[in-house]
Each structure stands twice: as structure tokens, then as C-alpha cells.
Structure 1
Amino acid sequence: MWRHRQIFGAVLCGVMIVTVIALFVVPVRYFATGSVIVAEQEPSNSNASAAWAAKIGDPADVESQLLIVKSPRIMRLALDAPGVREAAIQDCFARSTIGSTCEKAKEDTGALVDYIAANYSIGGAGRSRVINISYTSPIAEVAQKMANALTNAFLDDQRVTGSNSKELAASYLWKEAKDLDAELRDADAKIQAFRRNKGLARGQQAPIWSERLTSISQQLANAENARAEAAARLQEIKSNQARAIDSPAAQSNRSISDLKQQLTVVTAQLANQSNSLGPRHPSIRALEQEQAAIRDRINSEVASIIASAQKAYDSSDALVKSLTKQMDAAKAEVGSATSDEATIESLARNTEIKRAQYADLYRRASELETERRVLIGNTRLVSLAELPMKPFFPKKIPFIAAGATLGLLLASFAAFFGDSIRLDGLPRMRLPPRRNPEIEPVAAAPIVVPVAASAAPPVESSAPIDTPSPLRPASVPAGATSELSVVTGAPILAHLPAIRRDSSESAIGAILSAQSGAALARSLSKARENNHYQDALRDLATNLLTPAGGKVRKRILVASPSTAEGKTFLTLSLAHHLAAAGRSVLVMECDLGAPKFEAALGLRSSLGLQGVLRGEITSRESVVSSGVPNLDAIPAGPVPASTELLMRKSFADVLQWADIYDVVLVDAPSPGIQTDIGVLAKHVDGVLLCMRSGRSSIGQAVATSSAIRAAGGALIGIAITMVPDAGPMRTASATSDAYAGAT
């Protein structure tokens, strides 16, 4: 932005001037708003129905009311109010609308409705049940009158519609209630007549037949119990005639008890007398006769008891048989009466249902009648529109703030993308271009003292540039004397020209798609057809692959100090060039956060390097053929991933396995994660630093080169990318000044 501050200031000032002019030119608009609230419970209806309760707060009900307010019918009702039609015509002419349209609206109500509908703004107030009815007009009085006219028309329509509907509903309910009342009277008369005909009288607690059946059932149960007891007593006595005297029935008899006591006394006297008197003694004989008489009386009493028990059993049995017959007769009577009672219950149930319906209809009809008499409608006025004293549009502060915001956005856009869209028309800042040895003589290579990147401050220098010359041996790249070479301690190996975009592609489209895989694929195709670019690649490949110190470089890391330096594009284009030259090449994508290889090379989907680092696949399984002879690739993976995977030990194994290829080109992670670049740099034979002409910063280059050396890596050199077309007579001082500005 600082480099393009003139563009920034010019765009910002231009937008602000247009904003101020528009503030005075744009027509003034007044905004008047009236409010109503819908779906409120009527004051007369304290017991609202379930449907009404569900309607309160229902967004669908508010939406339906909004549609009613916006309907042409309500608009026509608003126009019928006194003075509203004239106000609408006045508003039409005040907006400087075509005169013929306003003249037509005077006669055609439909056209006038369409006109005012476009100026109304009707909507809900947040999540509440309030509807705001607003009108915009150049005349404040017209805005107020039109807003209030539609508000009043809507309220009146709701009141009239609700009153008519309630009156019709109440009339219908009264008619139904009257019919039900007549049916109820008929049903009650039929039930009473049926009871009389069938003799279905009721006792104290239940129908007479029911109480009679209950009584007979109880008597029969008691008789059966008595018979069972008499049978048990009789059986007990008859079971042992010899010991009948010992039975409970005999022992409970008072006479037998007295006789047994007398027998005991006589038996005792007889025993005493037998000890002193002979068996024929008169006393003995008298006692024996008395003993026999007592026993005869006891046997007579026992026989009497047996006869009594038999008689009791016979009596109970006769009673049971009699009650059983009565029970059978009562059951037959009950069966007939039950059928009659079921008929009566069915009639009574239908009558009760109708009676409940009658009560509900009567209650509802009474409520509707009451509501109709005190109805104010389910829509209530919140406030009418007030006369607007200040214009709604334009407001000075928000208008100027919006203009300033737009100006800042446009100015920032112009400043950031000035290099791409050439808004300033000035030459862009460039890194030193390659010199033409046929036009400019090659300066003698001075002695270059390598400077530690971490300690070398940015130096403003105008030293001449010494570029590679075809007269020198390829194994000895020319020492770079430019400021970039001095501060980084690395030679500039190549200047790669920019690949022009399609003339049909817009500048904005090129900017937005510059980092996509599809854009890389198109650019790679053009790079293979560009002779100047291929010549630069040939020089770069020669300098990279020339043995240094007797060691052949096979694994080369391509890195950049910042984003959008052309790192990935250079990696792929160099790989294509080396593969076309007959070398077996493997390109490896380590930019796990923004993978592009699959789209750029048209590769099939693979787990890629992510799968290897996670241990899901082997290094050999991760290799994908690019379809270009001698060129294979290991893409980053199908989805972006964290670069922390590169810290794993398995990455060194991948590089060691890749030694089967002549050249391995590693695309470094996106700049900003210097630890990752350092980790990769110590596992490769050298690092090629990629810097973009007119954009790269010397400070970032110093930081990156310092990180590479600190990690134990070797910086081979620097490749200048995207060098624009320029004449061969560019001076070194201009280039140095450009670098100073970039820093």
C-alpha cells in the first residue's frame, strides 16, 4: 500500500468526492411508520379456545396478516379514505415520475394501487407480533397520510370481517342448539314411556327385579348353609349308633347330661353295695333296675335327637328346593328386564351425548354473541404514523461513512493489486533481469565474500550485476554481486520470464485463480511452448545438477521466502524439462496445507505423502504416474493436513528410497513455517530459493536463507521468477533501488 500510496489516495479522494456530490444530488425521502399488533386475545373472551391459544405467537399467523396488509384489496380500501387518493397523485408527481404515468393513475385505480404498493414497506418487528406499516415519500405530510390510511383500512377490515364471521357463527350455533333441545325432549319422553310399558320400577337403591333377585339369592345361600349344618349333624349322630351318646349333639342336650349324671351316681352306689351284698339282694336288684331305666331314658333321648336332626335336615332341604325354584324364576325375569334396561341405557347414553352437545353449543353461542357485541378485532393499534421532521434518506453521517468505507475498500484493492492490473501505469518493481551478453559486456567477476544471512543487514548498493554467461563453464556459476546475492550469500542461477495469461481472461479472474491447480496446469502447458522460458530452465538445470565439491545433487528442495513466488510452478516446470531431457524425475509435494499437484498434473486420487507419514501406505505405493514419460509424483494427499507430519522420521526414509531416481524435486511447505523448511533442508542435497520479480522482500529472503543454514542445509542459489519483458539496457542502479523499496 505504501508503494501504491498515490493510487490509494487518488481512489479514496475520488470516491469521497462522488459521495459528497451524491449527498446533495440524491432526492430527499421521508419515512413515516404506523404499527399494529395482531393475534391478541379479545378482552371479552377470558376463556380462549385452544385454536386461539395456538394462534397467539404463531409466526404463520403474523405472516398471513402481512399478506393481508399487502393485498390490493386493502390498498383499495386505503385509497377510498378521504384525501388519500389526492395525496397519492401528489406523491407521484413529486417523484418526477413520467407525467403520463401519473395522469393514467388518476383514472386507473389499479395503476395507482401498483404505484403506492411499491412505496409501502410492510414487515414484522423482529420476533414480536407487531407489524410496521411504512410509506416513503418526498413529502413528509404525504408519507404520514399514506401510512395512516393503510393502517386504519387494515384495522377497519379486521373489525368488520371478525364481526360478520362471529354473527354468522352465533346464528348457526343457536339453530343447532334449538334442534338439539327438541331432540332431547323427545328422547326423555320415549324413555319414560318405555319404563312404564315394561314395568321397570326402581326400589330404594336399584330396580325392583334386581333387589328381588338379590334377596332370593341371600335367602337361598342361608338355606343351603342350614341344610348343610343339619346334614352334618345328622350324619354325625347316625354314623355310630352305639356311641351316639358321646356325639356333640347328645352332649349339648341338658336332659341327657342330667341322666348321665344320675347313671353315674347309681353305678357308684351299685358298685359299693356289690362289695357287701350279694347279687340277689333287693338293694342290688333295685339299683340295677334303676340303672337300666336311666339307660332306657338316655337311649330314648338320643333317638329323639336323631329324629329332630332328621326333621331339621328335611325342612332345610325343602326350603332350599323352594328357593331354587324362586331363583330360577327371578333369573328369567332378570334376563328380560336386563335387555329392557340395556335398551333404556342406550337411549339414555344418546340423550346424555346430545345434552353435552347442547350445553357446549349453548355456551359457545353465548360467548360468540358476547364477543360480537364488544368486538374490537384481533388486531389492535399500537401507534399511528407521526409527521417525519428529518429526512430518512440520505442521512449525512451514515452516507459519508458508507462512502468512506467503500472508498477504503476500493483504494485498498487498487493498491494491493496495482501490480497485476497496472492501475498506476508505472513500471513495476523488479528483481535484476538477465543481461544479454551480446549487447552488454560481461563485467569481471569480483570477489564475493559470503555473508552470514543472520547477520547481514539490508544494504543499499548500486554494485553492477554479474549474470551467468554462456562463455563460462557450466560447473562454475557466476558470482552474483547484486545486493540480493550479497545479503543471502547465494548466487542468482536463473531469471525465468513471466508466462502471459490468456487475453480472454480478466485481470480479476487471473488474480482469483492464480493459486488453483487448474491455473497451474494451463500455465505449465504454456511454459513448455515458451522458448525463452525453456532456455532459462536449461540454464537453471545446468547450474543445479553440476556436481559441487565432487558431490552430485539429486535431492533438491524448492522453497520461497513468501507466498505467491511461483515455487510450485517452478518445481513442476523444471520437472517437466528434466523428464523431457531423458532423466527420471520424482516430484514430491510437501505443501500439505494447500495441495495442488493432483489438479495441476491430472493425477488420480491417492493417499499421497500424508498416507506415508501416517504409516498407512509405503513410499512405493504413494508414487503416482503423471502420464509424462520419466516423470512420477508423490502428491500431498486428497485433503489439506497439518505440516506437523513432516517432523516424523518416516520422511527421511521417503527421501532415501527416492534415490532410485536421477532427480528428486521437493516442493517445500508454504512460507511462514520456517521450522518445516529447516527440517526438510537438512535431508536434501541443496535448496533452491525461488523469488518473484517486483515483489519479493530481501528481509524475508535473508530470514529464509538463515533458517536453511541454521538447520544444516545448503543453499544452492536463487531463481528469479515472473521476470517481465524488459529491454537489455536496464541499469543496475535502478534494480538496486527497486530492491531497497521491496525491503
Structure 2
Amino acid sequence: MRQAGLTEALSGLDALGRIWRRRGVFAIVAGAVLAIAVIALVVLPVRYLATASVIIAEQEPGANTSAAWAQKVGDPADMESQLLVIRSPRLLRQIISSPGVADAVVSECERGRLLGSTDACQRLKTDVGAFIDHVESRFSVASAGRSRVINISYQSGLPDVAQTLANALTQTFLEDQRTEGANSREVASSWLWQELKQLDQQLREADDKIQKFRRTKGLMRGANAPISSERLTSIGQQLSQAEAARAEAAARLQEIKSEQERGPTDAPSVLQSRTIADLKQQLTTVSAQLASAAGVLGPKHPSILALTREQGSIQQRLVDEMQSIAASAQKAFDANTALVNSLKKQMETAKAEAGSATLDEASIESMVRDTEIKRQQYAELYKKASELETERRVLRGSTRLVSLAELPSKPFFPKKIPFLAAGMTLALIFGVGAALLADQLGARLISPPVPVTPEAPAQQVEAPAVAEAPAIVPELAEGVTAPETATPPAAPERSSHLPSVADVSILACLPRLKSLREMSALGAILQGHQPLAIPRVLRLASEDTDFQHTLHDLVHELGLKRSARSQRIVVTSPDAGDGKTTTACALAEHLAAAGRRVLVVECDVSHPAFAEIMALPASPGWLGALERGTPLRDMILPTAHPSLDVLPIGATTGPVGDILDAISLDGLLAGLDGYDAVIVDTPLPSQRNDFLAGTDWAIVCVRSDRSLIEPAVVTVNRSRALGARDVGIVVTMTDVEHRSTPVVQTAPVAAYAGAG
């Protein structure tokens, strides 16, 4: 059984029927709205829209690609910032100086001013604030989808004005972007050139300081090294040569002295002398002549004597020459010794100077290193300054022009086809709303439902074959007297005019409670239902007349009467969310308001809610009473209503999952007397077969929008199997237009004719 589909179909047919009944109202309202749309189409001033486009965040020529720039491309935050820049009053102040802008705005203002003086329009040329107020609302700046293109549009009644203003703002924005980029680079370039000038001055001062330090410390450089180092090297070489010469002179002198005993003529140093060699050759020649002459001549011969004298002279000269050579060797040895001693002293002095120069050179190296760092920094800054200067000269800005605004030829507003389509749509909506509102207000004013009391039972209406609600019969119109009729016989105590399910009668159809009842009637029609909490539902139920009438009819169907014995009513449902707890609490409050003494017992272990619904204090409940062995009557809590008490479920330290399979309601409620009705909110256990024994009624709550009836049938059969005496169904959350009216009061046929 597809109850939800049937209900939806009946709802649609009923809505169409209500509109057809009020077709006159529908036609009047729809025609009026459509006429207003046509008049507005003719009367409204024509507006033209001119649009120019720019694209932002393109890479600038000459700029180095960086991570920051790559992140900027397509960034939504950057797009939004550019939109804010275009809309800023700063740019709007700049466009007033663009050629033709002021005259265009004045002409637009004068065209829109039908009456009055045009002085206010002329003031737009000089009053910047008035100019901005005039054009700001007519500009529209937005990005084109997810692209980086920005559309700059201007609306005006004059197409040439729209084109002029849109292009003026576009050109101003582009020039502002170029100027801003150039200014930033110019500032950076100026700072860099200033830094370069300071670095150049520092380098010059550092070089002068280094040169002065070198001159002061004598750290002039030679061909390959500092002068002190080269001097130390030269002295060392001279000392080596002097020591070698002294050693050679000492050897010659030692050789000459050692050969004096054998004859100085045999010494190698003597033999190396050319003079000694010549003298020896002369001595040899004279000795040979003397020997030759001695063999011929006598010893007294003058020739022999002459040769003897000459030989002696040569020998004397040879001795003198040898002594001269020995003296010369001695002088050479003494001179070399003196030179060696002098060079050694110079070596010590040069070493001291070289050591001091090393420390000075270290200081110089540190100064030179700092200077080199500054010189490298100078080179890098100079390169960067040159690049910035080049970029500034070739910069076009990060924003590019896509297209300027063209002269619009077609009006942007109003467009005939969309405007008429919107007018027809509004006419249809307002016509339908007016028809439904008129039908609803007419039904409320003409035919309100008439409640039936148990003391004066009304005539029953024959039940339909399906769960469709019969129309509510209107009361007599004012001034029409109904003929008196005989009082019909009372209906059976537990009979229902509603259809049955699985041989079980539907006792009542509780209407859906809406928070929209506090709104206007049109708002209640156009808006949907909203889910409500149970305390809110109970408050709305107490204020809802239809809901209270339905509860009154439910009490009548249940046959609840004052008696000495408490009548026990079990409220259950196939599933959670069917309105079981709401129905139990609403029925208890209704009976208590009628003066009955009512006790509500909570047995829903899985979803306890009574403590929150009725704002109860903390209590062990009947679970705690069973665990401690205390009487259940001590766990009963009073409520704000003096005739309504509550027995909450409470809490226990042990498991409570299968507690309902271990008890029966007859045993649980034993001894709780003194109440006219005991209403139990509980699900059905799965195993115990006598759970509902001793109960008068088992009410199965079923939501009206459930698509299947099988769960309700299973719950009804299960209730009977658990020992329920009588079982009935209450349909919850039904629409007011389709719910069945349990008891209605009829009027004679003549009354209908009199009511019109």
C-alpha cells in the first residue's frame, strides 16, 4: 500500500480544485501583475551597458620569474584586491580629469533630471564628492568566471556616455598600474644608486687607508713579494756567497801556509798565478844558461856571475811574489770574514723586519678582504640597479588591455523577452498564491470545524472506502435558521467511522503541527514544514484547535470514562519517529486539562525523553526502584499541572537492554491506583508474551508519510499476541487538508441552500 503516493496525488488534485474554485481571483491577480509588468516595460527608462576588459597578473617583460610571482598568478586574493582598487574612490577622482568625462556625466545627469534646475548637474564638474556619488553606483566591476579577466562596465541612459565612462576608468586603471610599477622601481633604483655611491666612497677610503698603511709600515711590494721579504731573501743569498768566498779564501790561505815548509812554489794557489809561472819560466831559462855556461866558463867568469846574479834576482822576485800572494790570500780571508759578519747582522735585522711585516700583512689582508667584499657587493648592486632602470624604461605594467568598450547598440535594461517572462512567472505565482489564500481564508470564515462533546454526541458520517478525508460541512450562514431535527441515537461506544487496517480501526488522524502558524497566511503557504522538538510540539499542540478537537475525538473513540478502576492505555509504534511519545504526552495533557487524574509511565529504555520534555528533577525512576526494592509510588513525580503525574524510567547500574522482556505491565503498575488513566509510552518487547496483559487499549502510532503499511500490521498483530485487549491505530503528522474528521456535525439540506 503506497499511502504516501496516494496522499501526494490527492494533495495535488485538491490544490488544483482549490485554484479552479477561485479562478476569478487567480485571473484578476495574474492579469494585474502581468499588466504591471507591461506598464513597467514601457515606463522604465532604457539603460545601456558598455563593458571594457583587462587581464591582470601577467608576467612583466624583463622581470625575473620568482616563486612569489608564480604564486600571485591567478590568486583569488590578488583578483579581489584588483577589483577593490578599480572600485576605489581614488581612481574615480582621477577619471574626472579625463577628456570628455565631466561633460558626459553632466549630459547624463541633465537627461535624467526631468524637473528642476540643472545647477546640480553642472556642479558635478567641480564637486568631486558629488561626481563620485553619481558614477559609483553605475559602475560594475567583476571578474569573468574563473579567469584573470576583469570586466569594467558602466550603465547609462546614453550609449556614448556609457562607452566614455567605461573606457575612462579602464585607461585610468591601466595608467595607474603602470605608474605604480614604475614608481616602485624608480624608488628601488634611487635607493640602489645611493647605496652604490656610498659603497664607492667607502671603497676609495679603504684603498687610501691600505696604501697609507703600507707606506707607514714599509710594506711596499717588490717584483714578486713584499720588499721586506725580497730583502731578507737577497741578504740570505749574499750571506751564502760571502761564506762560500770566506771558506775558499781560508782554504787558499791554509794551503799557502802548509806549503811554505816544502817550498811555496809547489802550492796550487801559487801555481795558478801567471806571474809565478813567468818567473819560474825565466828562472828555468837562466838556470839552463848558467849550467851551460858553467861547463864552458869558470866560476869567476863575468857571464857566470851575471847569470848567477840574474838567477838570484829571479828567485828573490819569486819569493816576494809568493809572499804577496800569501798576503793577498790573508786579506781576502779577512775581507770575507768581515763581510760574513756584516751580512749576519743584516740578516738578523731583516728577520725582525720581516716578522713585523708579516703581522702588518695580515692586517692588510683583512682590510683587503673587506674591501673585496664591498667591491663584489658594489658590482652586484650596480647590476641590479641597471636592470631596474632598464625595466622602468620598458615597463608596461602587469595589467594588459583586452578590449575597450564599444558603443552599445542594444539596451541592457529592460530586455523585452526576459522581462515579460519574469512578469508571466510572477503573475502565475501571485495568482496561485492569491487563489489558495482566498480559498483558505474563505474556508476558515465560512466553515470552521465544530467539536463534539461526549455529553452531546453528533451524527456520524459514513466512512469512505479509502483514507481520504470527507469535506467538512459548513455551518449555517448568519441569518439562516436551520429547521429543527430530531436528535439521532447515540453511536456505539467503540466504533469508528475511519477505515480499518488489519481489522483494526484508525481511531484518529492527528494533524501535523507547523511553526509557520505564527507567520502570515501567504508565508505559511509558500514555505514548507520545519522539524520541531517535542516540547515545542506539545506547546503548539495545546494552542492548536484542530489538534485538540482530534484529541477530544480520540478520547471519545477510546471510551474513556470516569470509573473507580484506572484505565490503562499503552502507546507504541512500529519505529522511532512515529510520534509515540508526542501522542502519549499530548493525550495525557488533554485528559489532565479535562479534570482527569492521569499518570504517564515511561518505558522506552532506548530513547528516554520525559525528564527533558517535562523538566523533571533527577530521579532513580522505576528502574532504580526495582533495583533497590523501594515502592514505585515513591518514584512518581508531579508536574506543573496538578492533575498530571509522571513515572520516569530513571537509571540503573545493571544492564537494561532486555528489561522489558523480564516484566509485565500488569505487575509493574500494580498498586498505582487513584488515577483515572494510566498512559504508558513503550516499545514492544521481543520475547515476553504477557507484556500487555491487563491493559485496556494498545494504540499504535503510524506516520502519515510512511510508504509501507506492513510495519503497522506487524505491530498490531504483535500487540494482540502480547495480550492487548483492544488495539487501535492513530495516524500522526497528517496534513489538515487530507485528514479525516472523526466526528462531524451535519446540517439539513435547506441550510446549504441558505448559506449559498
Counterpart pick for 2:615 among 602, 606, 611:
602
Q: How does 1:569-648 map to 2 (within 5 A)?
A: 569=583, 571-574=585-588, 577=591, 581-582=596-597, 584-588=599-603, 597=610, 600-603=613-616, 625=637, 627=639, 631-632=645-646, 634=648
Deviations 1:284-327 (A, max 9, x none): xxxxxxxxxxxxxxxxxxxxxxxxxxxxxxxxxxxxxxxxxx99
Residue of structure 1 in register with 2:132 after alignment: 113
Aligned letter for 1:364?
Answer: K
Q: 1:351/1:403 Cα in 2 relative to 1: closer, same or farther (>3 Å)?
A: farther
Q: How does 1:275-294 map to 2 (within 5 A)?
A: none
Deviations 1:564-611 (A, max 9, x none): 98971553342673697445431456895xx975554224699999x9
Q: How does 1:291-302 map to 2 (within 5 A)?
A: none
Q: 1:727/1:357 Cα in 2 relative to 1: closer, same or farther (>3 Å)?
A: same
Counterpart pick for 2:364 among 344, 350, 353:
344
- CA–CA distance in structure 2, aligned partners of residues 135 and 384 of structure 1: 12
1:665 aligns with 2:679: yes
Structure of higher CA gyration radius:
2
1:354 CA drift (Å): 1.9
Q: Secondary structure at the match of 1:557?
A: strand
Aligned letter for 1:72?
Answer: P
Q: 1:341/1:403 Cα in 2 relative to 1: closer, same or farther (>3 Å)?
A: farther
Residue of structure 1 in register with 2:252 after alignment: none
- CA–CA distance in structure 1, aligned partners of residues 188 and 690 of structure 2: 91
Aligned letter for 1:363?
Answer: K
Residue of structure 2 in register with 1:387 after alignment: 407
1:485 CA drift (Å): 4.8
Residue of structure 1 in register with 2:321 after alignment: none
Residue of structure 1 in register with 2:746 after alignment: 730
- CA–CA distance in structure 2, aligned partners of residues 677 and 185 of structure 1: 103
Q: Secondary structure at the match of 1:69?
A: helix
Residue of structure 2 in register with 1:709 after alignment: 716
Q: 1:591/1:486 Cα in 2 relative to 1: closer, same or farther (>3 Å)?
A: same
- CA–CA distance in structure 1, aligned partners of residues 685 and 427 of structure 2: 40
Counterpart pick for 1:30 among 6, 31, 48:
48
- CA–CA distance in structure 1, aligned partners of residues 470 and 65 of structure 2: 90
Aligned letter for 2:162?
Answer: A
8 Å Cα contact 2:51-2:152 kept in structure 1:
yes
1:118 CA drift (Å): 0.8
Residue of structure 1 in register with 2:89 after alignment: 72
Counterpart pick for 1:568 among 562, 577, 582:
582
1:357 aligns with 2:377: yes
Counterpart pick for 1:40 among 58, 62, 79:
58
8 Å Cα contact 2:454-2:556 kept in structure 1:
no
1:134 aligns with 2:153: yes
Residue of structure 1 in register with 2:15 after alignment: 4
Residue of structure 2 in register with 1:557 after alignment: 571
Stretches of structure 2 lacking an aligned partner (at least 5 in a row): 1-11, 234-345, 474-486, 625-631, 751-756
- CA–CA distance in structure 2, aligned partners of residues 124 and 497 of structure 1: 51
Residue of structure 2 in register with 1:688 after alignment: 699
Q: 1:706/1:176 Cα in 2 relative to 1: closer, same or farther (>3 Å)?
A: closer
Q: 1:368/1:555 Cα in 2 relative to 1: closer, same or farther (>3 Å)?
A: same
Aligned letter for 2:401?
Answer: L
Counterpart pick for 2:102 among 85, 89, 100:
85
8 Å Cα contact 2:599-2:645 kept in structure 1:
yes
Q: How does 1:439-478 map to 2 (within 5 A)?
A: 478=493
1:134 CA drift (Å): 1.1
Deviations 1:342-369 (A, max 9, x none): 4223322321232133112211221222
Q: Secondary structure at the match of 1:81?
A: coil
- CA–CA distance in structure 1, aligned partners of residues 584 and 745 of structure 2: 26
8 Å Cα contact 2:551-2:590 kept in structure 1:
no
Residue of structure 2 in register with 1:228 after alignment: none
- CA–CA distance in structure 2, aligned partners of residues 501 and 679 of structure 1: 40
Q: How does 1:472-491 map to 2 (within 5 A)?
A: 478-480=493-495, 482=497, 484-485=498-499, 489-490=503-504
Aligned letter for 1:355?
Answer: R
Aligned letter for 1:556?
Answer: V
Q: Secondary structure at the match of 2:407?
A: coil
- CA–CA distance in structure 1, aligned partners of residues 66 and 511 of structure 2: 82
RMSD over aligned Cα atoms = 6.3
Q: 1:50/1:570 Cα in 2 relative to 1: closer, same or farther (>3 Å)?
A: closer
- CA–CA distance in structure 2, aligned partners of residues 193 and 364 of structure 1: 33
8 Å Cα contact 1:518-1:600 kept in structure 2:
yes
Q: 1:331/1:27 Cα in 2 relative to 1: closer, same or farther (>3 Å)?
A: farther
1:70 CA drift (Å): 1.9
TM-score, structure 2 normalization: 0.57
Aligned letter for 1:36?
Answer: V
TM-score, structure 1 normalization: 0.58
Bigger relative CO (Cα 8 Å, ≥ 6 apart):
2
Q: 1:523/1:355 Cα in 2 relative to 1: closer, same or farther (>3 Å)?
A: same
Residue of structure 1 in register with 2:388 after alignment: 368
Q: 1:561/1:212 Cα in 2 relative to 1: closer, same or farther (>3 Å)?
A: same
Stretches of structure 1 lacking an aligned partner (at least 5 in a row): 215-325, 613-619, 638-645, 670-675, 735-743
Higher mean Cα deviation, 491-500 or 360-369?
Answer: 491-500
- CA–CA distance in structure 1, aligned partners of residues 109 and 689 of structure 2: 75
8 Å Cα contact 2:601-2:647 kept in structure 1:
yes
- CA–CA distance in structure 2, aligned partners of residues 435 and 576 of structure 1: 14
Aligned letter for 1:32?
Answer: A
Aligned letter for 1:34?
Answer: A
Residue of structure 2 in register with 1:315 after alignment: none
Residue of structure 1 in register with 2:241 after alignment: none
1:132 CA drift (Å): 2.0
Deviations 1:35-77 (A, max 9, x none): 222343322x143577656654455544443333222232232
1:154 aligns with 2:173: yes
Residue of structure 2 in register with 1:125 after alignment: 144
- CA–CA distance in structure 1, aligned partners of residues 663 and 729 of structure 2: 26
1:659 CA drift (Å): 3.8
Higher mean Cα deviation, 394-403 or 328-337?
Answer: 328-337
Q: Secondary structure at the match of 1:543?
A: coil
- CA–CA distance in structure 1, aligned partners of residues 664 and 347 of structure 2: 110
Aligned letter for 1:41?
Answer: Q
8 Å Cα contact 1:497-1:532 kept in structure 2:
no
8 Å Cα contact 1:29-1:392 kept in structure 2:
yes
8 Å Cα contact 1:691-1:720 kept in structure 2:
yes
